[in-house]
Amino acid sequence: MRASRRGDPYWMLLPTLLLLFVFFIFPLGMLFEHSLFSWDLLTPPRYVGLANYRSLWRSGELWHTFATTLSISSAVVFGSMTAGLALALLLDRPGRWAAFVRSAVFSAYVVSWVSVGLLFLWLLDADSGILAALWRFLSHGRAPRFLADPALAPWAVAAVTIWKITGYALVIFLSGLQDVPQSILEAAELDGASAARRFRSVTWPLLRPTTLFVATTSLIASFQLFDVVRVMTQGGPVRSTTVFVYAIYEQLFLDLRVGRASAEAVVFFGILLVLTAAQLWLFRAEEGV
Amino acid sequence: MIPRREFLRLGAVAIGSVAAGCAALDPVPKGRTKVSLWFSYGGTNREVLESLVQRFNASQTRDFVQAVYQGDYFEGLAKLRTAIHARCAPVLSHVVGEVVPYLAEAGVLEPLAGYPGLSELDIIPELGQERTWVSGNARPLCALPFNRSTPIAYLNGELFARAGLEAPRTWAELRTVAKRLSEPGAEPRFGFGCPINWWFWVALVGQAGGSIVAENGRISLGDAAGVRALGLWQELVRAGSMKPPPGRDYNAWEQCNQDFLSGRAAMIWSSTAFLKYLEAQARFKVIAAPLPAGSKRAVPTGGTFWVVLRSAPGAEKAAAARFLRFMHEPEQVITWSTRTGYIPVTRTAVRTLEQRGYYADHPNDRVALAQLAVAEPWPWSVDLFRIQREIVQPRLESAVIEQRDASALLSEARALALEPT
């Protein structure tokens, strides 16, 4: 279809561009500007150049937040993909039981993050939680303090996130599995390939675009982690679960350091930009573009 | 399938319910001056405050206070500061003591001395601006006390009686008592529980003979006393006698209360604010006791102060001042303190309670009041709140939970406190 007047596409794009400008480009510009000031909202802003970035770097906070986010994200991406794929392989069959389990696993995905946080806060309680009671029953020893031990808390948060988003990975992998041509699988079977070999040589290579998609969405979900941290650990103990979004929230809303929070958000934006570019590049390489 | 008309009707009902929920505040009667009040009390304290607000609204026809809950102290403060910037701040709110100097120096607080009767309130000096801060009376009056507290010790009377122990009076006794009441095992009991929180650390620093800011204004964080204070916690945790509760800010406080109520901690340090709650919830006799002495006895005061926001219209500020006068009348002060556990803030209220024999019947209520004799003032420092939240608090957790070197952590904190903001 061809536009009757040259300006038509631009007029039609204008509402979207306007929304994009108001809610994305303009705030982004403000974010960059604020990152160069020291400001607490109450007293006049003071220009400090790159001091906010230097301070974040020198205090080790930036690196610590990045390392924490990356550790939790890696666990979430790996865990949700593995669990999602395993469940998809198990549940890719007709029948009421499989349908029920599929729905049950996916239902976690539609529960709100805050509810999930509260639920696991109770389940993981080292004194009165079900998990602790089970631990004591089996080992007759003291249950680990999942949310009070800096060595365990990040993994507890990651596990909760995996539990929450695995249903989504399951659904995507199921649709991916249904796209795998049965004829190829049957041919492989006739050639004497075992189930493991069929998965390794047929299913897995054909699932790669799906895997990449699941990896991207899990990565985004894990980098946006906030609610569970806010409800379960408030970034502690000893900042062991202070992920990027929570760190920005803390700087901005609790410490009211607009400049430093903006600087942290700019860095976070940069990291996400690099990750997105890498994902896009991988997608295109996959498609042979 | 739901018919379209029914679907639209249900949708309208749902939207209406949400709108009604959002607009659940009592409407301001015609001709009365509205006073918007943002508060941060939950549970019983919220109920008591709301009942006092209702009492005020019913007692006269000139002003009308609309009280809105805004989350805990820190959430409420974040909202308040954001609202001040967005020019939609309430007329009246209450903030923690540590933040008053910062807000006052930022020029957002209304000086209160000019309002009739507010300078003449017979406030207990240790709880008012006069002695809550060093040279507090040398500054324009901008904060009035309402819910004021000190940290106190709560003892499980049953466990203490069974062990034949009394409340520890010194740090040495605290170590011994905590150890004797601790029971290891799959479901351990700790002799002592305390949130790893700045307020309790400041108490320990005072008891160890130090102060957060030295007399010459240098941010010392207690120097050697600060290290000794942290050392006590570290030692108790290492010995298995103390449980640092999980969670941060008030989540840790709540967890500590739950540990006490469930018998997992035989003795805790918490605010006097929880006295009535703990007494009502505990299935054992709760005994309140003063904090023990290190090289001396010392406690900080805590809780919040009423502040009137300068940005509000004059008529509303005058109405807020009238509400504050009402809240400092003996009956209101008595209702508040006897139903919550906070310290009564006026001398008349204390005298009245003594005359009524209240303290003889409720000895736990006297503990925090008596501790005011050893209350230490806060420095009037704009940076105090930043030092507390950003610099000291994370290092306290690190020292106690990760058992890192207290001296190195506090040196690091002192260096950071000196950096420009």
CATH at residue A70:
1.10.3720.10
pLDDT tens for each residue of B156-185: 999 999 999 999 999 999 999 999 999 988
Q: How far apart are CA B12 and CA B7, in angstroms?
A: 9
Which of A42, A237, A239 is opposite residue B81, by nearest beta carbon? A42
Confidence at residue B280, expressed as pLDDT on a 0 to 100 scale: 93
| Phi and psi, residue A239, nearest 5° | 60, 20
User: CB-based contacts of B171: which residues, under 8 Å, 6+ apart?
Assistant: B207, B232, B292, B293, B294
B180-227 pLDDT, tens digit per residue, is 999 988 788 999 999 999 999 999 999 999 999 887 888 899 999 999
Q: Are B70 and B80 in contact (CB under 8 A)?
A: yes
Q: Which domain holds residue A111?
A: 60-287
More reliable by pLDDT, A156 or A94: A156
Chain B positions in Cβ-Cβ contact with residue A136 (cut-off 8 Å): 186-187
What is the three-class DSSP state of A85?
A: helix
Q: Which of B193, B397, B233, B195 is nearest to A236 (CA)?
A: B397
Cβ–Cβ of A254/B185 closer than 8 Å? no
Task: Flag if A238 and B398 touch (Cβ within 8 Å).
Answer: yes
- Asked if the structure places residue A153 within a domain, the reply is yes
Q: How many CA atoms lie within 13 A of B70 on its CB side?
A: 25
Structure tokens at A166: 């695995």
pLDDT of B247 higher than 80: no
Q: Looking at the partner chain, which of A41, A42, A234 has a beta carbon nearest the beta carbon of B248?
A: A234
Q: How far is A162 from chain B (nearest CA, A)?
A: 22
Cα–Cα distance measured from residue B366 to residue A48, given in angstroms and rounded to the nearest whole number? 51
Cα B351 to Cα B339: distance, rounded to the nearest angstrom:
17
DSSP letters for B344-400: P-BHHHHHHHHHTTHHHH-HHHHHHHHHGGGEEPBP--TTHHHIIIIIIHHHHHHHH
Residues of B in contact with A149 (CB under 8 A): 401
pLDDT for position A256: 82
What residues of B are in contact with residue A256 (Cβ under 8 Å)? 78, 81-82
Reading the block at residue B237, the tokens are: 């945790």
* Residue at A19 is within a domain: no
Q: State whether A136 and B187 contact (CB < 8 Å).
A: yes
Q: Does the CB of B383 have a partner CB in chain A at under 8 Å? A: no
Could you tell me which of B159, B133, B161, B128 has the C-alpha nearest to residue B145?
B128
Start-to-end CA span in chain B (Å): 61
| Least confident among B18-22, B83-87, B253-257 | B18-22
The answer to whether A59 touches A287, Cβ cutoff 8 Å, is: no
Provide the β-strand partners of residue A46: A38
Tell me whether residue B267 is exposed, middle or buried, using C-beta atoms within 10 angstroms of its C-beta: 0 to 12, 13 to 18, 19 or more: buried
Tell me whether residues A238 and B401 touch, CB distance under 8 A. Answer: yes
The yes-or-no verdict on residue A18 having pLDDT over 70 is yes
* A162: CB partners within 8 A, 6+ apart: A75, A76, A79, A80, A83
**What is the secondary structure of B327-338 as a DSSP string?**
HTSHHHHHHHHH
CB atoms within 10 A of CB B49: 23
B83, pLDDT greater than 60 = yes
Residue A287 reports pLDDT greater than 80: no
In a domain, A53, yes or no: no
B109 secondary structure, DSSP code? B
**pLDDT at res. B20:** 44
Determine contact: A46 vs chain B, CB below 8 A: no
* Distance in angstroms (rounded) separating the CA atoms of residues B135 and B130: 7
Structure tokens at B411: 């040196």
Average pLDDT over residues B102-121: 93
Give B17's pLDDT tier (boundaries 50, 70, 90): very low
Does residue B416 belong to the interface with chain A, where contact is any CB pair within 8 Å? yes
- Show the tokens assigned to A248: 């920005």
The answer to whether residue A235 scores a pLDDT higher than 50 is: yes
Q: Is the CB of residue B421 less than 8 Å away from at least one CB of chain A?
A: yes
The answer to whether the CB of B267 falls within 8 A of the CB of B153 is yes
Nearest CA in chain B to A144: B186
Position A288 scores a pLDDT of 60
Total domains in chain A come to 1
A44 touching chain B per CB within 8 A? no
CB contact under 8 A, B246 and A126: yes
Helix (H, G, I), strand (E, B) or coil at A160: helix
Please list, in sequence order, all residues whose beta carbon lies within 8 angstroms of the beta carbon of residue A98, skipping any fewer than 6 positions away: A91, A92
- Yes or no, beta carbons of A38 and B421 under 8 Å apart: yes
Residues A172, A213: contact at Cβ < 8 Å? Answer: yes
- Report pLDDT digits (tens) over B324-343: 999 999 999 999 999 998 99
- Selected for mutation to probe chain B from A127, A135, A147, A241 (highest B CB count within 10 Å) is A127
Residues B126-132 have a mean pLDDT of: 92
Look at residue A86 and give its three-state secondary structure.
helix
Q: Is the CB of A236 less than 8 angstroms away from the CB of B397?
A: yes
pLDDT at B230 over 90: yes
Interface contact A42-B108, CB threshold 8 A:
yes
A237: preceding bond cis by omega (within 30 degrees): yes
pLDDT level of residue B421 (50, 70, 90 thresholds): low
pLDDT value of position B28: 83
| Window B:6-65, CB contacts with A under 8 Å | none
d(CA B290, CA B299): 9
Tell me the H-state helices in B94-170.
100-105, 129-132, 157-163
pLDDT band with cut points at 50, 70 and 90 for residue B153: very high
Residue B166 has a pLDDT of 95
- Distance between A236 CA and the closest CA of chain B, angstroms: 7
Nearest to B81 among A41, A55, A149 (CB): A41
- For A210-231, write each residue's pLDDT tens digit: 998 888 888 888 888 999 999 9
Domains of chain B: 32-149+302-375 (3.40.190.10), 151-300+383-418 (3.40.190.10)
Q: Does A55 touch chain B (CB under 8 A)?
A: yes
CA distance B51 to A244: 42
Q: How far apart are CA A72 and CA A153, in angstroms?
A: 10
Range B386-405 average pLDDT: 90
Closest chain B residue to A46, measured at CA: B421
Please give, rounded to a whole number of angstroms, the shortest distance from the CA of A159 to a CA of chain B.
18
Nearest to A249 by CA among A270, A273, A225, A271: A225
**What integer is the mean pLDDT of B2-9?**
49
Whether residue B136 has pLDDT greater than 60: yes
The DSSP element (H or E) to which A118 belongs, if any, is helix A113-123
Alpha helices in B113-248 (DSSP H): 129-132, 157-163, 171-181, 198-207, 224-238
What distance in Å separates residue B61's CA from the closest CA in chain A?
A: 35
Secondary element (H or E) of residue A1? none
Residue A22 forms part of a structural domain:
no
B278 to chain A, minimum CA–CA distance in Å?
19
CA-CA distance, B36 to B107, in Å (whole number)? 20
Asked if B76 reaches chain A (Cβ–Cβ under 8 Å), the answer is: no
8 Å CB contact of A235 and B389: no
CB contact under 8 A, A147 and B247: yes
Please state, for a pLDDT cut of 90, what percent of chain A lies above it: 52
User: Is residue B76 within 8 Å of residue B93, measured between CB atoms?
Assistant: yes
Interface contact B421-A127, CB threshold 8 A? no
pLDDT attached to residue B2 = 45
A61-91 and A96-110 helices, crossing angle to 10°: 160
Which DSSP helix (H) or strand (E) runs through B67? strand B63-69
Task: Tally C-beta pairs within 8 A across A and B.
Answer: 77
Report d(CA A65, CA B414) in Å as an integer. 22
Judge whether residue A166 has pLDDT over 50. Answer: yes
Q: Which amino acid is at A46?
A: R
Q: Are B170 and B208 in contact (CB under 8 A)?
A: no
Tell me the chain B residues in contact with residue A255 when contact means C-beta distances shorter than 8 Å. Answer: 386, 389-390
Task: Find, in chain B, the residue whose alpha carbon is nearest to that of A44.
Answer: B106
Does A45 fall in a domain? no
Query: What stretches of B262-357 show up as alpha helix (H) in DSSP?
Result: 275-281, 314-327, 330-340, 347-355
Contacts of residue A242 in chain B, CB cutoff 8 Å? none
- Name every chain B residue with its beta carbon within 8 A of the beta carbon of A41: 81-82, 84-85
Output the pLDDT for position A140: 78
- Which residues in A lie closer than 8 A to residue B249 (C-beta atoms)? 234
- Rounded mean pLDDT, B141-165: 96
Longest dimension (CA), chain B: 77
Of B78, B103, B186, the CB nearest to A142: B186
The answer to whether the Cβ–Cβ distance between B81 and A40 falls below 8 Å is yes
Structure confidence at residue A282 (pLDDT): 79
- The single-letter DSSP state of residue B213 is B
**A249-253 mean pLDDT:** 89
Residues 6+ apart with CB under 8 A from A179: A206, A210
A182-196 burial, b at 16+ Cβ within 10 Å, e below that, comes to eeebeebeeeebeee
**Mutation target among B74, B79, B85, B416 for the A interface, most CBs of A within 10 A:** B85
B84 vs A42, A233, A237: nearest CB: A42
B403 CB within 8 Å of a chain A CB: no
Q: Which one of A55, A141, A239 has the shortest CB-CB distance to B394?
A: A239
β-pairing, B242-243 vs B267-271, is unpaired
| Nearest residue, CB atoms, A255 vs list B108, B390, B416 | B390
Q: How confident is the model at residue B242 (pLDDT cuts 50, 70, 90)?
A: very high
Confidence of residue B7 (pLDDT cuts 50, 70, 90): very low
Q: What would the pLDDT profile of A51-68 be if each residue is shown by its tens digit?
A: 999 988 888 888 999 999
In the three-class reduction of DSSP (H, G, I as helix; E, B as strand; rest coil), residue B289 is classed as strand
Q: Is B419 on the interface with A (CB under 8 A)?
A: yes
Mean pLDDT of B309-319: 95
Calpha distance B259→A87 (Å, rounded): 39
Total-model pTM: 0.84
Give residue-wise pLDDT tens across range A104-136: 999 999 999 999 999 999 899 887 788 888 888
pLDDT, greater one: A242 or B13: A242
Q: Is B266 helix (H, G, I), strand (E, B) or coil?
A: coil
Q: Is residue A286 very low, low, confident or very high in pLDDT (cuts 50, 70, 90)?
A: low
- Indicate whether B18 pLDDT > 60: no
> Over the stretch A6-16, which tens digit does the pLDDT of each residue have?
888 888 899 99
Cross-strand pairs, B268: B154, B193
Q: Which residues pair with B183 in a beta bridge?
A: B189
